[in-house]
Structure 1
C-alpha cells in the first residue's frame, strides 16, 4: 500500500473517533437511564484503550497509528461517570478515587518491562472479548437498544477493519492485528443486535 493511501486510511481511523461516542453520551444524557448499557463493558473498554496508547508509546510506533485512542478513552470515562451518576453511585469521593486509580494505572503501565507489555497485549484479547460480551449480555437482557448508538458501534467496526490494514502494512505487529480482528467481529455482532432490538423495528405494525 502506498504512503498516500496509508495516510488516508490512518486519518479515516482517527477523525471519526475524535467524537465517536458523543452520540452515545447524548443518548445516555437524554434518556437518563442505563438500560441496555454495561458499566463493566465500558470499564474494560477504557482500560483497553488506555493500554493500547501506552503499548504504542512504549514500542515507539508513529502517533498517527494510535491517535484515536486517547479520545476514545476520555469519552469512555465520561460515559462511565454518567452511568454511575444515573445509577446514583457517583459522588465527589468516588470521582476523585476513579481519577487517581486511572492515573496510577497509566503510571504502572509506563513502568512495566516491555516484555510484560507483550504478555499483557495477549491477555487483553480475552479481556476484550469479555468486555464485548458484557455489552452483548446487557443488551440481550434489556432487549431494547434505545440507549445504544448504532453509529458508534458501526463506525468502531469500520475503524477496526482500517486498523487491521494499517497494522499489517506498516507495523507488522500480529498481536495488534489479532486484537483488531477479534474486535471487528464482536463490534459487528453488537451492531446487528442494536438493529435487532431497535424499538422502531420491534414496534407492532398498525393495522390499516
Structure 2
C-alpha cells in the first residue's frame, strides 16, 4: 500500500517536474534575444551542460528506465541547443569551422548510443562525470555573477525551477530505481543550483539602486533651516 502511494506521488512529481522544465531556459533565451548579447555567458558552461544532459538522457534511455523519470533531460537539452545557438550567434562564432565539425561528431555519438552501435556500458563510466560537469557549469555561472558583480542577465525563475525539479527528482529516482549515481547527481545539482540562486538574489539586490535618502534628508533640513 505504501509502495503504491509512493509510486503515485512520484508519478505526480515527475509530471510536475516535466511540465516546469518545458520553460526552464525560456526566460534566459528571451533575455539573450532581447538584448542581442551573450555577455556574461560562458561557452564552457554551456558545453558542460550539453554533455551532461546528453549523457544522462542516453544513460536513462539505454537502461530502459521509466521515461517519466528523465523526460526533462531531453526537454531541457532542446532548450539548451536553442540557447547555445543564440550565444554563438551573438558572440559571432557561428562562422567558425569548429562548429559544424563538433556538431557532426556530437550527433554521430548520440546516434551511436541510441542505435547500440556504441556500447551502453560506456555511459555507465561517463555518468559519474556528469556530477562534476554539472558542478563546474554552475560554479562557472556563480563565478560570472561575482566577477561582474551583477546578476541582471540571470533569470531567477530558471534557477528556482532548477532547484525544485532537482529536489523532486531525488524522490522520484529513489522510488523508481534508487540508482545511486543518479541520486548523487541530483543531490549535488540541488546544492549548486541553490548556490547559483542565492548568489543571483544577493547581487540583484546589491545592484538595485537605492533612493538617496541621506541627501534628500539633508536637503529638507537645509530648506527648513532657511525658513
- 1:64 matches 2:68: yes
Q: Does 1:140 align with 2:146?
A: yes
Q: How many residues align?
A: 208
Q: TM-score under structure 2 normalisation?
A: 0.84
Residue 199 of structure 2, aligned match among 175, 193, 200: 193
Matches within 5 A, 1:3-42: 3-42=7-46
Give the match's secondary structure for 2:138.
helix
| TM superposition shift of 1:33 | 1.9
Q: Deviations over 1:137-188 (max 9, x none)?
A: 1121111111111100110111000000001111110100000000000000
How far apart are 1:98 and its partner, in Å? Answer: 4.6
- Taking the aligned partners of 1:107 and 1:120, their CA distance within structure 2 comes to 16
- Tell me if structure 2 keeps the 8 A contact 1:81–1:95: no
Segments of 5+ residues of structure 1 without an aligned counterpart are none
Kindly report the root-mean-square deviation, in angstroms, between the aligned alpha carbons of the 2 structures.
2.0
Moved more, 13-22 or 90-99: 90-99
Aligned equivalents of 1:204, 1:98: Cα separation in 2? 47
Query: What's the CA shift for 1:116?
Result: 2.3
1:172 partnered with 2:196: no
Q: Which has the larger radius of gyration?
A: 2
* SS class of match (1:197): helix
Note if contact 2:21-2:76 (Cα within 8 Å) is conserved in structure 1.
yes
- TM-score, with normalisation over the residues of structure 1? 0.91
Given the alignment of the two structures, is residue 158 of structure 1 paired with residue 164 of structure 2, yes or no? yes
Which residue is equivalent to 1:182? Answer: 188
